[in-house]
């Protein structure tokens, strides 16, 4: 099966643009393409999903073991003609500077994915050859299949760059892309705008088709798409992992917040919840007046609640419904943006404060800089919604807000941040509600999904409090 990993010499060189262009070109050719993203990224996977028409998946060698990554790839590849993975940061960037742990290079080698290197050539001439040669020599075991040059001034510029590379490098040049505003995706403090934000625009269908057309045309004009389609993943992707349905009572319905404000989820988390009998029911805290009927649990993911704080606050009916759901004793699991929504108040950097759902007593404050960033390991300090005391799960932290007035709130996690080596108590609990800044990947500890579903199943029929107004 066709399979490649699109990597970069560094962050910001245009990996996403190249990936989307290739997705669009393959879609135009009638191929079914499965997109993946290395690392703990939610934004790129949303755009991959939007263009490919299939839920994109995350590969991650720090949060997940080798076999779990293989399972993610094999499961995702079912029914596809090609798999196209986008790397994170620079090709060799990962958990630390001394090893390849967590890097796109490690993923490519473990999953036998040929690597296409993207380089920003906007300010380069012959020196681009030194860059490509350095990547060739840095790791001789890396399956480097080709290089694509981005932000090239024109054909004459490309011919100069190509000649320089071919004079000293073995890596074939697979084409180039010009700088083109027609395919630009707006950015903000956490990265690109989410696919959900673009999807809610009234003219979105037209924009999607126009962007796909523009991206596909660029790829066909400037890239060697035929040669790229000839690269194959070395793993056997035809053997489908067996996802055994857990035994027990009937299904449970889990309401999942999905709109412009809440969109950061690992698709594999949903797979594991479904495996244990969950039915995923999306709803919008921005637009709906209450949580869906006959819901047994809520899952509030991360996103951009700070950008829609006024609208979330103004939807008093939904806030009341969330509080009523909490009072019923049914479980709620919230991550990052979801926890912000469950707080008493969110204060913006300009000092304006908005009331939130009020499940937790603390206040959240937006700041002008990252508060915690990087990979995280948590250990459950007591039995809670996601498992028994001592359970270890890995995840990721990335947020610009901080918490105030948290001393009276119980915690269930002991958190270890990999970059700073800082440790602290986290994972806040009120009743049957668990909330944290940490985005957890359930495949890092699959029993967490089972515990969540079982907590919801236990409460089926036991609640008497209405979730409406």
Catalytic residues, which ones?
A: 336
Q: Enumerate the β-bridge partners of residue 387.
A: 384
What gap in Å lies between CA 411 and CA 429, rounded to an integer?
A: 6
Q: What is the DSSP letter of 172?
A: P
In three-state secondary structure terms, 164 is helix
Token pair recorded at residue 392: 């270890």
In this structure, the chain runs to a length of 469
In three-state secondary structure terms, 48 is helix
- Beta carbons within 10 angstroms of residue 406's beta carbon: 16
Q: Enumerate the β-bridge partners of residue 435.
A: 334, 428
What gap in Å lies between CA 219 and CA 176, rounded to an integer?
A: 9
What gap in Å lies between CA 9 and CA 117, rounded to an integer?
A: 7
Biggest CA-to-CA distance, the chain = 75
Nearest 10 degrees: Cα torsion 281, 285, 288, 289: 120
Residue 34, C-beta contacts closer than 8 angstroms, at least 6 positions apart: 52, 54, 56, 57, 76, 77, 80, 82, 83, 84
Give Cα 265 distance to the centre of its chain: 6
What gap in Å lies between CA 376 and CA 384, rounded to an integer?
A: 19
At what angle are helices 267-275 and 447-458 packed, to 10 degrees?
60
What gap in Å lies between CA 47 and CA 61, rounded to an integer?
A: 22
- Beta carbons within 10 angstroms of residue 428's beta carbon: 25
């Amino acid at each position: 099966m066709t399979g490649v990993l699109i990597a970069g010499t560094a962050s910001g060189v245009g990996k996403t643009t190249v990936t989307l262009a290739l997705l669009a070109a393959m879609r135009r050719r009638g191929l079914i393409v499965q997109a993946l993203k290395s690392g703990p990224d939610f934004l790129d996977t949303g755009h991959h999903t939007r263009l490919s028409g299939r839920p994109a998946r995350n590969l991650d060698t720090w949060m997940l073991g080798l076999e779990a990554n293989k399972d993610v790839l094999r499961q995702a590849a079912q029914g596809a003609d090609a798999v196209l993975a986008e790397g994170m940061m620079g090709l060799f960037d990962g958990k630390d500077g001394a090893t390849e742990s967590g890097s796109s290079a490690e993923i490519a080698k473990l999953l036998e994915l040929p690597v296409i290197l993207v380089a920003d050539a906007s300010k380069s001439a012959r020196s681009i050859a030194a860059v490509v040669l350095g990547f060739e020599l840095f790791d001789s075991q890396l399956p480097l299949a080709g290089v694509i040059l981005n932000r090239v001034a024109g054909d004459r510029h490309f011919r100069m760059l190509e000649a320089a590379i071919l004079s000293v490098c073995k890596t074939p040049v697979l084409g180039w892309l010009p700088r083109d505003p027609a395919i630009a995706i707006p950015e903000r403090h956490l990265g690109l705008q989410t696919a959900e934000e673009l999807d809610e625009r009234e003219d979105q269908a037209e924009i999607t088709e126009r962007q796909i057309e523009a991206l596909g045309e660029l790829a066909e004009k400037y890239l060697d798409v035929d040669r790229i389609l000839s690269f194959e993943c070395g793993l056997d992707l035809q053997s489908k992992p067996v996802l055994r349905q857990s035994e027990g009572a009937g299904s449970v319905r889990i309401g999942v917040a999905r709109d412009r404000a809440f969109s950061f989820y690992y698709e594999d988390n949903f797979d594991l919840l479904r495996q244990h009998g969950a039915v995923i029911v999306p709803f919008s805290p921005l637009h709906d007046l209450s949580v869906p009927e006959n819901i047994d649990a809520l899952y509030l993911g991360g996103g951009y609640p700070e950008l829609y704080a006024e609208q979330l606050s103004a939807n008093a009916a939904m806030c009341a419904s969330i509080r009523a759901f909490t009072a019923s004793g049914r479980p709620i699991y919230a991550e990052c943006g979801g926890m912000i929504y469950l707080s008493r108040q969110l204060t913006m950097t300009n000092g304006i404060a908005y009331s939130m759902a009020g499940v937790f007593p603390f206040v959240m404050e937006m700041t002008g800089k990252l508060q915690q960033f990087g990979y995280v390991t948590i250990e459950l300090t007591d039995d809670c919604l996601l498992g028994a005391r001592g359970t270890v799960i890995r995840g990721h932290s990335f947020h610009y807000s901080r918490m105030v007035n948290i001393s009276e709130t119980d915690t269930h996690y002991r958190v270890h941040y990999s970059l700073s080596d800082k440790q602290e108590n986290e994972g806040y609990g009120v009743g049957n509600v668990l909330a944290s800044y940490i985005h957890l990947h359930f495949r890092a500890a699959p029993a967490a999904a089972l515990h969540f579903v079982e907590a919801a199943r236990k409460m089926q029929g036991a609640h008497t409090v209405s979730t409406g107004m």
